[in-house]
Every structure is written in structure tokens, then in C-alpha cells.
């Protein structure tokens, strides 16, 4: 399937920014109801509004590409290895607690590999995406819907294995993760929510992110695309095998995201 990557890039960016506006209207407003989905994860009206907006926009722009979204996942039964995948509000716990570390994630997966993606953190005013060529950038400025502002190419660090910067989850940290991190020579650690952890590696603010916990493909695809476009890598935790998408049920195994040059330790 041939893709118009220029159209993909501009559409992903615009829909993410528009969804961010919808999310921030709820975030900055009065208290909102937090509902619980069948998997016991939280969901809010902000998730639902953002999902509806992004889904409608993607279906209108790319009607021939299968679409997977978190909020409609129960109805998905696709066998395609090439598809669009969306998490309209990644980091709902951060959103509910008004901590700001939540993102809008939109990605294209081609033959099991995320090749294009956008990650927008509206409360943090950070916008990361892959450009037409697939290289990753961070945009600054006012984030006007119709035209991009100043753009800077981003790239992973050349890590120092005697002094690594590690990023870990704010909401899902556990002893197994700490035990694995302890195998490395760590200079410093930082915490971040949602898919921002990948973006910190992509822009050189961290070297390593191990995740020993449940995630779904929509949680990681867009940020994985940004990481890959910045020269980073993501592998399975158990055997360091390549990480792929389009798995049954869209469930991810444990993984490690990192800057090449990090000497990965065994599980």
C-alpha cells in the first residue's frame, strides 16, 4: 500500500492538536466523572471526546486503512499488519490526578513496524512527531493548527554506560523494575507518565526505559515511531528480540526502549 506521508504528517499533527484542545477543556474545567472500563482502567469524557474526534478525522482522510483505537478496542478484529492506531488520551491516571503527563498518540504501523507517529502533551506544551521522511522532530511555538511552528530535529544520545540516565513510570513502578535498573550504572533517574518516557529518550534527555508491566499497542506505537525516527530502539524484555505490532489482542510483552549504545543487561 502506497502512502501520502505528507498528508499523514499534517493530518496526524492537526488531529492531535485538536484533540488536545478537547482534552484541556475537560482538564481545566470543573471536576469530571471517572468511569471504569471492563479491564479496570479509568476513562473519562475527555478520552471519549478525543477518540471520537480523531477517529472521525482519520476515517475521513484515510478510509482504506484499518483503524484501531483504545476506546473502541472491543470492536476491533483485524488481521492486517498495516493499520492506524490511536490512544486518544494516554496517561488517564495522570490526567485524573491533574499531573500533566498525559499525551495524545496517533501512529501508522506498516507491516508490523510503527513508521509514523505524533505524541502531543497538551498540558506540557510538548509536541513530537515524525516528519515526511520519517525522521523525528520536536515543534515549539504556538502550535497553530494549519501551519507548523519552529521545528528541531531530535536524536538519541550517545550513552555513557558508566553514567546512564534512566526514565521510569510514575504510576506503574514496581520492585521488578527497580531490580532490573539496579543492574546498570545509573547517573540519575527521572519519572514521567504516559508515552513521554519514549520521547525523553528520543530527544536525548534519557538513555533507557524498561517496562515490566502491562501495556497495549496503542500505548506505545506513536512514541515508538518517534523513538525509531530519532535513532532509538525498542525490544522485547525477555530476549531483546525486535518489537512488532499487530499482535493478537494488541497486547504488548514487557519491553526495553533505549538509545543504541546502551549495553543491555539480561532479564
Comparing CA positions, the residue from 122, 119, 160 lying closest to residue 136 is 119
Domain match, 74 and 101 both: yes
pTM greater than the 0.85 cutoff: yes
One domain for residues 187 and 216: yes
**Digit-coded pLDDT (tens) for 224-257:** 999 999 999 999 999 999 999 999 889 999 999 9
Q: Each residue of 142-172: pLDDT tens digit?
A: 999 999 999 999 999 999 999 999 998 866 6
267 domain-assigned: no
pLDDT of residue 2: 81
On whether 212 is known to bind a ligand per the annotation, the reply is no
pLDDT score of 67: 93
184 and 210 assigned to the same domain: yes
Cα distances from 223 to residues 154, 182, 188, 207, 232, in angstroms, run: 13, 25, 22, 15, 11
Annotated ligand binding at 215? The verdict is no
Q: What is the mean pLDDT of the chain?
A: 92
How far apart CA 217 and CA 252 sit, in angstroms, is: 6
pLDDT of res. 29: 87
Q: Looking at residue 174, which CATH number applies to its domain?
A: 3.40.190.80
Burial status of residue 147 (CB atoms within 10 A of its CB: 0-12, 13-18, 19 or more): exposed
Q: Is residue 28 a part of any domain in this protein?
A: yes
CATH number of the domain within which 58 lies: 3.30.540.10
Nine-digit cell at 73?
478496542
Report the distance separating Cα 173 and Cα 16, nearest Å. 28
Residues spanned by the domain of 197: 164-258
Is residue 77 located within the same domain as residue 49? yes
**Pair (148, 193) in one structural domain:** no
Confidence band for 41, pLDDT divided at 50, 70 and 90:
confident
Identify whether 96 is part of a domain.
yes
92 known member of a binding site: yes
Asked, for residue 145, whether it belongs to a domain, the answer is: yes
Please indicate if the annotation marks 239 as binding a ligand: no
Does 219 appear as a known binding residue? yes
- 130 and 207: one domain? no
Q: Domain for residue 118, yes or no? A: yes
> 153, 185, 218 — which closes off a domain?
153
- With cut-offs at 50, 70 and 90, classify the pLDDT of residue 31: confident
Q: Are residues 12 and 49 in the same domain?
A: yes
pLDDT the model gives residue 236? 98
Mean pLDDT of 164-193: 89
Whether 263 is covered by a domain: the verdict is: no
Q: What's the rounded mean pLDDT across residues 53-65?
A: 96
**91 annotated among ligand-binding-site residues:** yes
Our count of domains for the chain comes to 2
Q: Which candidate, 76, 67, 138, 72, places its Cα nearest to that of 109?
A: 67
Amino acid at each position: 500500500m502506497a502512502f501520502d506521508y505528507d498528508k499523514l504528517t499534517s493530518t496526524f499533527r492537526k488531529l492531535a492538536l485538536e484533540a488536545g484542545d478537547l482534552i484541556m477543556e475537560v482538564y481545566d474545567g470543573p471536576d469530571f466523572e471517572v468511569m471504569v472500563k471492563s479491564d479496570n482502567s479509568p476513562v473519562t469524557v475527555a478520552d471519549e471526546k478525543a477518540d471520537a474526534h480523531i477517529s472521525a478525522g482519520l476515517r475521513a482522510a484515510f478510509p482504506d486503512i484499518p483503524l484501531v483505537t483504545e476506546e473502541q478496542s472491543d470492536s476491533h478484529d483485524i488481521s492486517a499488519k498495516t493499520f492506524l492506531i490511536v490512544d486518544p488520551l494516554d496517561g488517564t491516571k495522570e490526567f485524573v490526578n491533574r499531573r500533566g503527563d498525559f499525551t495524545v498518540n496517533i501512529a501508522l504501523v506498516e507491516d508490523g513496524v510503527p513508521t509514523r507517529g505524533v505524541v502531543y502533551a497538551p498540558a506540557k506544551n510538548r509536541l513530537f512527531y515524525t516528519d515526511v521522511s520519517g525522521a523525528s522532530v520536536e515543534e515549539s511555538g504556538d502550535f497553530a493548527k494549519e501551519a507548523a511552528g519552529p521545528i528541531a530535529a531530535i536524536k538519541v544520545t550517545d550513552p555513557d554506560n558508566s553514567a546512564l540516565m534512566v526514565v521510569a513510570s510514575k504510576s506503574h513502578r514496581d520492585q521488578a523494575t527497580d531490580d532490573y535498573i539496579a543492574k546498570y550504572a545509573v547517573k540519575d533517574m527521572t519519572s514521567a507518565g504516559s508515552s513521554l518516557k519514549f520521547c525523553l529518550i528520543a530527544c536525548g534527555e534519557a538513555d533507557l526505559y524498561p517496562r515490566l508491566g502491562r501495556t497495549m499497542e496503542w500505548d506505545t506505537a506513536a512514541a515508538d515511531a518517534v523513538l525509531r525516527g530519532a535513532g532509538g530502539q525498542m525490544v522485547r524484555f525477555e530476549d531483546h528480540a525486535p518489537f512488532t505490532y499487530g499482535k493478537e489482542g494488541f497486547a504488548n510483552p514487557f519491553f526495553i526502549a533505549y538509545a543504541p549504545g546502551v549495553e543491555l543487561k539480561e532479564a
